[in-house]
Amino acid sequence: MMRLGLRSFIFGVSATALLMGASPSQGQGVTEQDILNDATTTNQVVSYGLGPRAHRFSPLDQVNAENAKDLVPVWSFSFGGEKQRGQESQAMVYDGVIYVTGSYSRVYAIDAKTGMELWQYDARLPQGILPCCDVINRGVALHGDMVYFGTLDARVVALDRKTGKVVWRKKVDDYKEGYSITAAPIIVNGKVIVTNAGGEFGVIGRVRALDAKTGDVIWERPTVEGHTGTLNGEPSTMTGKTNATWPGDMWKWGGGAPWNGVTYDPDTNLIFTGTGNPAPWNSHLRKGDNLYTASQLAIDPDTGEIVWYFQNTPNDAWDYDSISEVIPFDMEVDGKTIKAVASAQKNGYFYILDQADGKLVNAYPFVEKISWADGVNADGSPKFIEDNRPGDPSQAADGKKGSTVWVVPNFLGGKNWNPMAYNPDTGLFYIPANEWGMDMWNEPVSYKKGAAYLGSAFTIKPVFDDYIGALKAFDPKTGDIKWEYRNVSPLWGGVLTTKGNLVFTGTPEGHLKAFNAETGEEVWSFQTGSGIVSSPITWEMDGEQYIGVTSGWGGAVPLWGGEVAKFVKYLNQGGSFWVFKLHKST
């Protein structure tokens, strides 16, 4: 459903501007070159991650570590209604219009100067959707004069950028089985690349490429062994080999959902994605490595073929999805510059792989007191501490509950979906990490379509008494933490870094914060009224630099209790988009 309206609170905008409203954008549309150049273009944001490699680095430096203290709000737009749940969207900016999604599969187009709503689309979800971890959406993709996004009932929708009207809508999976889409799509070579969620329901993970003009599926790549992909409507190749690393029929409902989307390196023409947990969580039921779950994949965007894989956690027993964004970057190794990819995974280790073949370059811990493994072998396999694998319930006296173990990190991870940023000036990655663990045990479980498929239970707890969240400036060459900002509650939002020697991120307490990228000194903070669990952006308009962020507490963290609940139980939900710029003295 699309509607027009006005719902905005304006700071410093004249009444005349409010009454005149805003006209739909008159641009010629977002081109492939616009997307490829997004990392260096300053007057727009047309890709998820500020460029296909998702460095989340802006060359803008008008706002810098010296003057960031002078940032003030320009306007705030309310998403309205009663749908005040987790707001994890990264906004896009093009031709004077901001495109941002809200919870429950909604899209808004907002005038970037005034904060006035131009149009809104509401997917009108059916009853019975099965989102794992809140009714969130992480953003749209732009291409031509279209806006693309995925919905919680497993559809991909293309909207007219100027009117918000539906151009095409495609069902790609059955939500009644547990499928959904929460990740922002990306555009590669005229294709809309989308990924599904739902691993907790025993669905099969898939990466798909849809024709941007028609919505037709060009290729489909399953991320669990034994399933066959498609190309141009015909069966293509099988992913792996049936039963090679899965026992019996377990591969048929094996999980592996690549639910956090993909990145792209145009130099090598490869897309990269992480894959989710194998199903069920109880690892004793699925002896073997369980490819290609808890892995990083390089995929040919033209054919959907897997070029290489790297499995971070074979036979995962702790819900250590490898869904953290896989970031291509150039790195010097032994005096030579190689094309690498980096990721900070839920299992607590930061991995650097050679982009050419997926071989391990280095792996370092980025959180403290990791208890499930004692480092990583030269080939990338973890050095498991088997005593910290939850016990087999079939070996228990009552057959109902396996032995309990204390595990760090917990299943929400050393880092979860919330994207880190890479600053080429400092050479550092800025990781929104969390220091927490869990008591975990296994239970019997069997697969039933549309039902939760875990076979495990847990109680999450903080590792330290005074903080959980930790924004860390991480050196990929040495594994050193250069500086760290500690937050009482978990960090669940993304990071932005800029040429102005700044790092921005938000907190569940509602603050958007700016830090000196070199020293970690906090140089600015603003209270947005609800928790920030989204990714900030920046752009230039009329000669001034703007910062934008979505505010609205939610996501996975408040859905789980344990001792962490006391850190977040007082936080209020919301739904708004805030814009800031430097104060002009008169």
The DSSP bridge partners found for residue 2 are 121
Amino acid, res. 62:
Q
Query: How far, in Å, CA of 586 to CA of 583, rounded?
Result: 9
Helix (H) or strand (E) holding 2: strand 2-3
Active site residues: 319
Segments in 81-149 forming alpha helices (H): none
The yes-or-no verdict on residue 22 having pLDDT over 50 is: no
Query: How far, in Å, CA of 353 to CA of 357, rounded?
Result: 8
The backbone region for 348, taken as left when phi is positive above 0, alpha when psi lies in -120 to 50, beta otherwise, is left
CATH number, position 444: 2.140.10.10
pLDDT level of residue 10 (50, 70, 90 thresholds) = very low
Mean of the pLDDT values across residues 419-431?
A: 98
The yes-or-no verdict on residue 338 having pLDDT over 50 is: yes
Instruction: Specify the pTM.
Output: 0.95
- pLDDT digit string (tens) for 224-283? 999 999 999 999 999 999 999 999 999 999 999 999 999 999 999 999 999 999 999 999
Distances (CA, A) of 124 to 159, 174, 431, 515: 15, 16, 35, 40
Mean of the pLDDT values across residues 210-233?
A: 98
The yes-or-no verdict on residue 348 having pLDDT over 70 is: yes
pLDDT cut 90: percent of the chain above it: 90
| pLDDT number for residue 170 | 98
The yes-or-no verdict on residue 396 having pLDDT over 70 is: yes
- pLDDT digit string (tens) for 126-180? 999 999 899 999 999 999 999 999 999 999 999 999 999 999 999 999 999 999 9
Mean of the pLDDT values across residues 339-349?
A: 98
Choose among 323, 312, 304, 203: nearest CA to 261: 323
| pLDDT number for residue 83 | 78
Q: Please answer whether residues 115 and 10 qualify as being in contact, where contact means their C-beta atoms are separated by less than 8 angstroms.
A: yes
The yes-or-no verdict on residue 303 having pLDDT over 80 is: yes
pLDDT level of residue 21 (50, 70, 90 thresholds) = very low
- In the DSSP assignment, the letter for residue 233 is T
Mean of the pLDDT values across residues 12-22?
A: 32
Mean per-residue pLDDT of the chain: 94
Amino acid, res. 413:
G
Query: How far, in Å, CA of 93 to CA of 84, rounded?
Result: 23
Mean of the pLDDT values across residues 523-548?
A: 98
Residue-number span of the structural domain to which 25 is assigned: 2-582
The DSSP bridge partners found for residue 299 are 271, 306
352-360: long-range contacts, CB 8 A cutoff, minimum separation 24: 352/476, 353/296, 353/310, 353/380, 355/265, 355/268, 355/270, 355/298, 355/328, 356/268, 357/308, 358/296, 358/298, 358/307, 358/308, 358/309, 358/310, 359/310, 360/310
| pLDDT number for residue 42 | 97
| pLDDT number for residue 1 | 52
Give the DSSP letter string of 411-432. TT-SS-SS--EEETTTTEEEEE
| pLDDT number for residue 399 | 81
- pLDDT digit string (tens) for 85-111? 999 999 999 999 999 999 999 999 999
Half-sphere exposure of 256 (CA within 13 A, CB side): 31
Query: How many distinct structural domains can be found in the chain?
Result: 1
Q: How far is CA 154 from the centre of its chain?
A: 17
The yes-or-no verdict on residue 552 having pLDDT over 60 is: yes
- Copy the structure tokens of residue 457: 């239970």
